[in-house]
Amino acid sequence: MKKKINGVWFFGLSGSGKTFVSQKLQKKINNSVIVDGDIVRKLISKDLNYSKKDREIQINRIFGISKIIINSGKFPIASSVYLNKKINILCKKNNILVVKINRIKFDTVKKNHKTYRNKRNVVGKDIFYENFKTEVLINDNKSSFFKKLDLKNLNLL
């Protein structure tokens, strides 16, 4: 029997579809709460920049918020650009499913996305992911790509 999933954490490059998938999933799961990394940065992590060290602090905060949500009997749907092995392990221990979103033809998106123009400390440009195993969702640039997330097989419904 599969373990009960207590939450989901989507991560992927800026513009990969994390917010879109989070909003779609929230409509499917009762008592879910979105913990969007951009919103956490805007409201809570004003003290942080975009260095790798600050990104690690940021994902620790997102994890902490997610734990508070779980302890309140709700289902967190977290998202962030960056994720590391340490947080992935903590997610597994707390039955939070981690899903990486990869976008097809992302080089085209990068050329037009403001995040990738003339900036430093950008994940996918000069900060890279550590190797660890996760579920992967492929964004093929069609609005139906969310349907590829098999909610029943992943024990979310």
Indicate which residues carry an active-site annotation.
80
Asked whether the beta carbons of 83 and 98 are under 8 A apart, the reply is yes
Radius of gyration for the alpha carbons in the chain, expressed in angstroms and rounded: 15
Reading across the β-sheet that carries 135-139, which strands appear in turn?
A: 32-36, 75-80, 7-11, 96-103, 135-139
Q: Quick one: CA torsion of 111, 133, 93, 124, rounded to 10 degrees?
A: -20
